[in-house]
Amino acid sequence: MSEYSGRHRPATRAERRAIERRSRLPKSFGPAYLVPTAAAATLVLTAAGATAASSSSFAGGAGTQAGAAFLAEGQDKGTTSLLSDPALGDDAREEVAASAQESSGLATRRQAVSTSVAKDQGRTQERKRVARDAARKEIAADKKRDAKIAADKKRDETSSTTPATSSSSTSSDTPAQGAQGAQSWVKPLDNAVFTSPFGTRWGKLHAGQDYAASIGTPLKAMSSGTVIGAGPMSGYGNYIDVKYWDGTVSRYGHLSSISASVGQQVSTGDVVALSGNTGHSTGPHLHMEIHPGGGGAIDPAGWLAERGIS
């Protein structure tokens, strides 16, 4: 190195390097520190914007775009200021530009990811809604089908038990078994006192049997049947005729009152009248006649014995 230090001597290479070192910025302001710091700040802001966008389905797209625009604006300002710094060399400027471009690309990718996540969430919610609707429809269809099956089963049970019940009732109500029911037989009155038989009396036919009974004694239908006549009649006073299920007609005479009307259905043991002393009568009693098939009167004694009535 020359020892000349004249006024116009040009600076040596070592002197120029010393001058450049003195004019450089501190390391904390150099590209090696400043660029990563700016990039880190950009990433933090971008992550915050993406988080806010993903937490709100309504403002997802708008929030992401606003955050990206904010970051891009801040990045552009920071990059512009760094690139315009005269203290930076070409390598530092290239590094700053590359970092800014990478940050911009990262923001764009985050925005795309946020948009994709929002779309996926929307599709997932739609699939869940469709699944819920299908499940509700299936439950309603199952309930309707179960109700129809129950109704059909009940109808089948009813139709299958009705004939059996009817058959059972018919067999249990037959006179041979002597059971109480639609075809059973009972006495016309309780505690009956027989006073006069069927036959000729004073030159005329006494067509029935008489039973002593105080006025107002209940008189019962001997079996199930229909009332075919009732009211006043010459000689009988008040009377009532009941046609039973086997076609036999019974006639009660000299009644004080009638408890059933013509056409009324009666069951075994139903009270149809009260005994009395009306018509050609010598005292309170029941006059009872039996007309098989609705024809002429017969002696009630044999007919009553056949049906177990004494």
Report the distance separating Cα 237 and Cα 231, nearest Å: 8
Give residue 201's pLDDT.
84
Helix, coil or strand: residue 251: strand
Closest alpha carbon to 27 in 18, 19, 17, 37? 37
Does the reported pTM lie above 0.85?
no
For residue 168, name the pLDDT band (cuts at 50, 70, 90). very low
Half-sphere exposure of 252 (CA within 13 A, CB side): 34
Cα separation values, 92 from 22, 23, 28, 85, 305, Å = 18, 16, 14, 10, 137
Q: How confident is the model over 93-122, as pLDDT tens digits?
A: 677 677 777 777 777 888 888 888 888 888
| Residue ranges with strand state E in the chain | 193-196, 199-201, 204-206, 209-212, 218-220, 225-233, 237-244, 249-258, 265-266, 271-275, 285-291
For residues 5-26, average pLDDT? 69
Report the distance separating Cα 298 and Cα 288, nearest Å: 11
The per-residue pLDDT of the chain, averaged, comes to 77
**DSSP state letter for 207:** -
Report the distance separating Cα 306 and Cα 310, nearest Å: 10
Report the distance separating Cα 273 and Cα 56, nearest Å: 91
- Residue 37 or 307, more confident: 307
Q: How confident is the model over 212-257, as pLDDT tens digits?
A: 999 999 999 999 999 999 999 999 999 999 999 999 999 999 999 9
Q: Is the pLDDT of residue 46 over 80?
A: no
Confirm if 103 and 42 have CB atoms less than 8 A apart: yes
Q: How confident is the model over 121-133, as pLDDT tens digits?
A: 888 888 888 888 8
- Beta bridge partner(s), residue 230: 240
